[in-house]
Chain A
Amino acid sequence: MLLTGRGRAAAFGAAGLRAADYGEIRSEEQEILSLVWRGRGRESATFSRQAGHGVRVGTGRGVCFAASTDPDPTAALRAARRGSGVLAVPGTLAAATPLVADLTGTADGATEPAHTLDAAEKALLLECAHTAAVTSHPAVTGALLYYRESRRTVHLTTTDGTDLRYRSDDLTLQLTVTAADGATTATGAVSLGSAGDFDAVRALPGLVEQACRDAVDTLGAPAVEPGTYDVVCDGPLAGTWAHETLGHLAEADQLPEHGALAEPGHRVSGPSLTILDGPGRPGARGFVPVDDEGSAGTDVVLLDRGMTTGAGLHTRTTAAGQAAGLTGNARAVDYRHAPIPRLRTVTVAAGPHELAEMIGGTRRGLWAAGFHGGQTDRRSFTFLPATCWLIEDGRRSHRVRAATLTGDIVAGLAAVDRVGDTPWTGDTSASCGKIGQWPLPVSSWAPPIRLRGLHVRAG
């Protein structure tokens, strides 16, 4: 273990860490721009600058965390060291390979880095889009537009010898258009995201037109008849389904209620379904080449051709507790939080089926596209697709509104009988939240999938 007297590492000695102790300083700076339009006009504009240290100290009694905005991390290290005196259950961190690198200059391929553009120019484009939405049709009563961009810079130093700098940019835009006709309301939405590339927003005008058409057309659509349907989900919805169900259950600090999913070798779905979590690719929101403990990211296969792998997504804490290897899943939304197991880029691998065949082979079902909202509770899921069409005798017939898809997680995996051959690998504005740590940028990639016999209710 290194304990040097130089620079940031001097804080470890000043805080009273002994030679056998572990020390870690994760210093972060983050700048955020947030713009909101609600109803028929502007609601708010906020610039945020935040900086602080999240530190950990490991002694013979265990590992404790402290966060502080004080420029000098020494006091936080002392507080973390004092905290170990409270611990009654010893804990350790798994050994990690020290990493010395400065990744802040790594190009991410952004065409128009958002942080380089004038805020007024961006706001003007967004305001035009909002105005276009609210004036598009007499039935449109309002639109809600959230825009958020952030730039996060991290410097991680540990007594193990890690000295790592990295940066991540994020951008999200969510526009929800509401149309009303007496007692009935319907919405259409645009959901965009990128790793800080404003180029993703340039397509907004056309997308707003589509969202307005969706809202107005859905308004006149009949409510879905509750019942059991074969549901063909588009890529974005399928990716979210994989993230929310199997993805979260694989986080090593979760206790799955379905024992079969935690153990390898159980068949829970057909051979076409493979799901993994990985570091993703540059330019994507869920690109995590190194995590917030300095561990390099690896692909972790969660479901291999329908068979459980029992693989978990780990931090140094959970890896030590479960005698597992590090996977690069230790993430903290900012300096205020210790890293916990989080998802990165969840991918449903391409299957053998064409979308036309999936729909053509559905006698009575739904085509569900996009993700409007939903929840899971580790046993079941409830999802609201953004748009929905009835499928009758192998053809998309007409829109339906107010469809809510519900099901048991394990039964849902078993219900997948078709996996499309063309994965969607974009980004939306959907961010991940867990124990108050939100918004965490993630990506969820998938081809269309079909689930047989899903329960659908109205409202």
Chain B
Amino acid sequence: MSAPDEWVARIVAEADARAASWRLLTLTDFSSEAELAAGEPDAVRSDRQTSATLRVRHDGRLGTATATYPVDPSLLVDDAVRAARLGPAADPLTGPTGSEPAAIEAPGDDTAADALRTFAAETADFQRAHGLRLDGTIRRQVHDVGVHGPDGNRHFRRAWWHQALVAEGRAGAGALATCTDWTPEPALSESWAPWLAWTAACQELPDVDVSTDSCPVVLAPLALHALLSPVVAGLSGASAADAYVLHPALRLDDSAQDDWPLRAPVDDEGTATAPLTLLGDGKPVARYHSEATAAARGERPTGHGFHGSPAHRRPLQPATPVLTAARLTAAPAYRVPGFADLVASVGSGVLIESLLGSHQHAAPRPVVEGRIRAGVLLENGAPVARLSGQPVALDLRELLGPGFRAATEATWPVGRSWHGRMPFALADGLAL
């Protein structure tokens, strides 16, 4: 047993001996990351951290304590009991639920440096082939997660390669595309490569500002993620507001498919994860919950309670409801195969790739405001000019409501405050 494993075992023993009701989350987080400037690594970092988050119910109240290895386990339990004296009234802690998941083996630390070099070289080759500049980060991440409680222990390991890249054109042409992906192997995203190649062809187009009362708009997955964020926030168990109703052709699920690298068999509170339909025929079907939000509404936890998110676990933060594998789909009559089909159907309109500043408002509002980070003007189904920096306001009640027209069958990975796969979508009614 390794020293950190012994540490966890001692915490479990102390908590079991001293607390009538308890639950423990342990996390060992290994990562190696390279920052890329024009495809070349100009900064490298690595991390190895082990931490524990202990929740204890003492005299009917709940307290939480967190510590990094190797803080004395008895101190951690002392802190949790002290916190319980100051904490809220709570029911006894239960779980974890579900069955013990199969472990995924991950390569050892020594291979990360070689793989980072190879990954960076592939990125540099791609940018040369398409006349782009690629900046961003590539990171190998491994999470060893343990959820321990009165109903048993659940351990699982998840490993992935994360890439977050911004593609710019030659000679300061500005941002063309932004992409993120979580893959099992250190390789440039197969999902995004065709899109990056498409946008590379737009870099020689002139820059324009557009003014229109109403036009069709193709929303790329990252722009759609921004527009859908108020909807996602409204479906959270923590939301006090009513959920939005969208076009009846739209459906939103949190699917957690087996091949999704971020998939966790249990959430950080030990609740088994399972597919959940949030919107069906455009109407709210269910909310996603952490333990606390479920209890507040008299509902059952749904396996969405995470400290941060499965991609970025933050043990010091409280557990809140987070979507981990959201997927927006359209009814069959509203689907087209890929983004090229969607673009080709636009006689005169715009494509918005992503927004600047749209995620930072204090509270979710149905109108998402920001500036176009990257976009193109479309005429007769082809890009004719680039859009950059122009202010825009996207009203989800219109664009994902009566204005919605079609979405791609294919989806692309996206993630920021919530993660998943989004299609390209076409809607009428954008004003600029």
Taking beta carbons and an 8 Å cutoff, which residues of A are in contact with B? 32, 35-36, 41-52, 62, 64-71, 75-76, 79-80, 82-89, 91, 119-120, 123, 336, 338, 372-375, 377, 379-380, 382, 384, 436, 459
User: Could you say which residues of chain A place their CB within 8 Å of the CB of B338?
Assistant: none
Closest residue on chain B to residue A372 by CB atoms: B362
CA distance A64 to B312 in the complex (A): 21
Q: Smallest distance from the beta carbon of B156 to chain A beta carbons, Å? A: 20
Taking beta carbons and an 8 Å cutoff, which residues of B are in contact with A? 32, 34, 37, 40-51, 62-71, 75-76, 79-80, 82-89, 109, 113, 116-117, 120, 292, 312, 316, 318, 356-357, 360-362, 365, 370-371, 389
CA distance A335 to B48 in the complex (A): 12
Closest residue on chain B to residue A457 by CB atoms: B369
Q: Smallest distance from the beta carbon of A311 to chain B beta carbons, Å? A: 24
User: Could you say which residues of chain A place their CB within 8 Å of the CB of B76?
Assistant: 49
Q: Report, nearest first, the 6 A-B pairs whose CB atoms are least far apart.
A: A89-B42, A83-B44, A373-B362, A47-B79, A45-B86, A45-B87
Q: Smallest distance from the beta carbon of A48 to chain B beta carbons, Å? A: 4
The reply to whether A69 and B50 contact each other, CB–CB distance below 8 Å, is yes
CA distance A459 to B32 in the complex (A): 43
CA distance A459 to B48 in the complex (A): 44
CA distance A316 to B357 in the complex (A): 30
Closest residue on chain A to residue B238 by CB atoms: A38
Closest residue on chain B to residue A123 by CB atoms: B86
Closest residue on chain A to residue B319 by CB atoms: A44
User: Could you say which residues of chain B place their CB within 8 Å of the CB of A75?
Assistant: 48
The reply to whether A35 and B45 contact each other, CB–CB distance below 8 Å, is no
The reply to whether B63 and A45 contact each other, CB–CB distance below 8 Å, is yes
Given contacts A36-B318, A48-B66, A67-B46, 10 further A-B contacts (CB under 8 A): A32-B316, A45-B64, A47-B66, A50-B67, A75-B48, A79-B46, A86-B41, A372-B362, A375-B357, A377-B357
The reply to whether A89 and B37 contact each other, CB–CB distance below 8 Å, is yes
The reply to whether A120 and B68 contact each other, CB–CB distance below 8 Å, is no
The reply to whether A69 and B42 contact each other, CB–CB distance below 8 Å, is no
Which of B48, B89, B113 has the largest count of A CB atoms less than 10 A from its CB?
Answer: B48
Q: Smallest distance from the beta carbon of A330 to chain B beta carbons, Å? A: 15
The reply to whether A64 and B113 contact each other, CB–CB distance below 8 Å, is no
Closest residue on chain B to residue A32 by CB atoms: B316
The reply to whether A44 and B88 contact each other, CB–CB distance below 8 Å, is yes
The reply to whether A49 and B71 contact each other, CB–CB distance below 8 Å, is yes
The reply to whether B67 and A48 contact each other, CB–CB distance below 8 Å, is yes
User: Could you say which residues of chain A place their CB within 8 Å of the CB of B70?
Assistant: 69, 71
Q: Smallest distance from the beta carbon of B261 to chain A beta carbons, Å? A: 20
User: Could you say which residues of chain B place their CB within 8 Å of the CB of A44?
Assistant: 62, 64, 87-88, 318
User: Could you say which residues of chain B place their CB within 8 Å of the CB of A379?
Assistant: 371, 389
User: Could you say which residues of chain A place their CB within 8 Å of the CB of B43?
Assistant: 62, 64-65, 87, 91
CA distance A71 to B51 in the complex (A): 13
User: Could you say which residues of chain B place their CB within 8 Å of the CB of A66?
Assistant: 45-48
CA distance A83 to B318 in the complex (A): 33
CA distance A45 to B85 in the complex (A): 9
The reply to whether B362 and A86 contact each other, CB–CB distance below 8 Å, is no
User: Could you say which residues of chain A place their CB within 8 Å of the CB of B66?
Assistant: 46-50
CA distance A332 to B212 in the complex (A): 46
The reply to whether A68 and B40 contact each other, CB–CB distance below 8 Å, is no
The reply to whether A67 and B45 contact each other, CB–CB distance below 8 Å, is yes
Q: Which of A49, A83, A375, A436 contacts B45 (CB 8 A)?
A: A83
Q: Which of B32, B86, B117, B356 contacts A377 (CB 8 A)?
A: B356
The reply to whether A46 and B65 contact each other, CB–CB distance below 8 Å, is yes
Q: Smallest distance from the beta carbon of B159 to chain A beta carbons, Å? A: 17
The reply to whether A375 and B360 contact each other, CB–CB distance below 8 Å, is yes
CA distance A445 to B380 in the complex (A): 55
Q: Which of B44, B48, B86, B316 contacts A50 (CB 8 A)?
A: B316
CA distance A82 to B371 in the complex (A): 41
CA distance A62 to B37 in the complex (A): 14
User: Could you say which residues of chain A place their CB within 8 Å of the CB of B82?
Assistant: 47, 119
The reply to whether B71 and A51 contact each other, CB–CB distance below 8 Å, is yes
User: Could you say which residues of chain B place their CB within 8 Å of the CB of A375?
Assistant: 357, 360-361
Residues A49 and B356 in contact in the complex (CB < 8 Å), given A68-B47, A86-B120, A373-B362: no
CA distance A88 to B124 in the complex (A): 11
The reply to whether A88 and B75 contact each other, CB–CB distance below 8 Å, is no
Closest residue on chain B to residue A41 by CB atoms: B88
User: Could you say which residues of chain B place their CB within 8 Å of the CB of A382?
Assistant: 357
The reply to whether A49 and B40 contact each other, CB–CB distance below 8 Å, is no
User: Could you say which residues of chain B place their CB within 8 Å of the CB of A373?
Assistant: 361-362
CA distance A94 to B222 in the complex (A): 39
Q: Which of B63, B116, B365 contacts A459 (CB 8 A)?
A: B365
